[in-house]
Amino acid sequence: MNQDYPTVAQRSSSALATNKVLRNTYMLLSLTLLFSGFTAALSMFLNMPPMTYLISVIGGMVIAMFVLPRFAHSTAGIGIVFLITGLLGFGLGPVLSMYAALPNGGNIITLSLGGTGVIFMGLSAYALATRKDFSFLGGFLMVGFLLVLLAAVANIFLAIPAMSLMISAVVIMIMSGFILYDTSRIIHGGETNYVLATIGLYMTIFNIFISLLQILGIMGNDD
Amino acid sequence: MDWMQIISALALVMFIVILFPAALDRMRNSPKGTSSDWMGFIVPIIIIVLLVMLLIKLV
């Protein structure tokens, strides 16, 4: 009869650990989003050229892929997360300046920001409330993401606006899947490092925001 | 074609090459979802598509 007690204690301690990872992830995510907003505003104020976006995204991705995993389990990892998110935010500056210059640019930026917030909070609440295991999405999402990257390479040379619109729409769907997948991994103990969890969720938010800007920019432009 | 497009294309190809082994690994090792699992994914995605359509109407 007493044999059940260690199991209950183990489950309770595992649930506490999961809650701690979730809390730390959302706390760090909020701070990095605020920091990104600050660096984006700074970049707009400095009137950075369009190539800043490309350099920042490549730099941010390279640091996220090759540097962050080495420091993710130390306090230096938090600094690197701020470096990556600050860099990506800084790259957003020229993009936001470009949209702000459109006749309804303010509306496009506000709606993209609001839409991104609604999508992220809605999907996170759904994953947290249902506690469903979305680990089955892993392969599907990764292959889908690779196919989108291939289509994006093709569209650099083809430059078809409709294809660009389609790519942005698919990116939003895939990133939405990644929000469910990543949140479910934290809930079920698949991700115990809040630094890596934060950067994963940040990337999904960043991609959804950029894709929404592109869709609303194309659809809201009368020319 | 300007140099920014060439760098963008090269960066994307680099990401594809780096991510390909991870994608292959996840394809092989991901658990299979039931139809009910897939519905739990498809329904929120449909809601998001509707939300994006609403945003397009609003802009």
pLDDT tens, residue by residue, A65-79: 999 999 999 999 999
Which of A153, A173, A182, A222 to mutate to test binding with chain B, by most B CBs within 10 Å of its CB?
A: A153
- Give the separation between CA A111 and CA B23, rounded to whole angstroms: 33
Q: Do B16 and A149 touch (CB under 8 A)?
A: yes
> A189: which DSSP letter?
T
For residue A89, give the nearest of A46, A50, A57 by alpha carbon. Answer: A57
CA neighbours closer than 13 Å in the CB half-sphere of residue A164: 16
Tell me if residue A181 falls in helix, strand or coil: helix
Q: How many CB atoms lie within 10 A of CB A181?
A: 25
For residue A147, give the nearest of A167, A129, A162, A161 by alpha carbon. Answer: A167
**Tokens found for residue A175:** 């990133």
- Give the separation between CA A117 and CA A204, rounded to whole angstroms: 11
For chain A, helix, strand, coil in percent to 5 are 85, 0, 15
- Give the separation between CA A188 and CA A133, rounded to whole angstroms: 7
pLDDT tens, residue by residue, B8-53: 999 999 999 999 998 898 888 888 989 999 999 999 999 999 999 9
Which of A112, A131, A143, A184 to mutate to test binding with chain B, by most B CBs within 10 Å of its CB?
A: A143
Q: How far is CA A28 from CA A31, A195, B7, B37, in A?
A: 5, 8, 32, 30
Residue A174's pLDDT is 97
* B20 closest CB neighbour out of A51, A108, A146: A146
Q: How far is CA B41 from CA A135, A142, A176, in A?
A: 11, 15, 9
pLDDT tens, residue by residue, A145-171: 999 999 999 999 998 989 999 999 999
- Give the separation between CA A213 and CA A99, rounded to whole angstroms: 8
- Which alpha helices (H) appear in A188-222, and where do they start and end? 194-219
**Mean pLDDT value of segment A120-133:** 96
* A142 closest CB neighbour out of B5, B19, B45: B19
Backbone phi, psi, residue A72, to 5°: -60, -25
